[in-house]
Amino acid sequence: MSEIRYFSKEGLDKLKQELHELQTKGRADMARQIAEAREKGDLSENAEYDAAKEAQGHLEARIVRLESDLANARVLDTTNLDTSKALILSKVKVLNKKFNKEFIYTLVSANEADLKAGKISVDSPIGKGLLGKEVGDVAKINIPAGILELEVLEISR
C-alpha cells in the first residue's frame, strides 16, 4: 500500500503537468527514438536500440510513480494552518546561531523540495529538526558538518 503524499495546490498542479507531459510528449519521443534505432539494423547488436528500450523503461517507471503519487495525493489547505508551531507548508524564519544569519524556509513534502526556492523537505534533517518547533525554540540538528543550531524567529503561512 502506498503512503499518503501531501502537496500544496501548486505542487499538485506541477505533478499533474509533469505526468501529462510524460504520458504524451515523453512517450511519443521515446517511440520515435526506438523506431529510429530499430531502423539501424540487427537488434541483437544495436546499442542505440538497447539504450532507447532502457530509457523507455525508466520513463514508464516514472509515470507509474507519478500516477501512484497522484492517486495518494492530499492537498493541504494553508488558510487554516496553525502558525503557533512549524508544520508542513509553514514558512519558518530562522537564525543560524553560528553565522548569525537569517534564512526563510518553507517546509514541504519531499516531492516539492527546492532549496533554491527556499523549500525544504520535512523528511530532510533540517525539516525534521524544525517540525513542531515554536517561535523562540532552538533546533539542534545533526548534520555532516556537526551540530546546526537554528533559532525559530517567526512562523507564517
Per-residue pLDDT tens over the stretch 48-102: 888 899 999 999 999 999 999 899 998 887 777 788 999 989 999 999 999 999 9
Per-residue pLDDT tens over the stretch 19-53: 999 999 999 999 999 998 888 777 677 788 888 99
Burial of 14 (0-12, 13-18, 19+ CB in 10 A): middle
Nearest to 92 by CA among 84, 104, 80: 104
**How far, in Å, CA of 28 to CA of 42, rounded?**
23
**What domains does the chain contain, in order, with CATH numbers?**
5-75 (1.10.287.180), 78-156 (3.10.50.30)
93, HSE (Cβ side, Cα atoms, 13 Å): 7
How many other CB atoms are there within 10 angstroms of residue 81's CB atom? 16
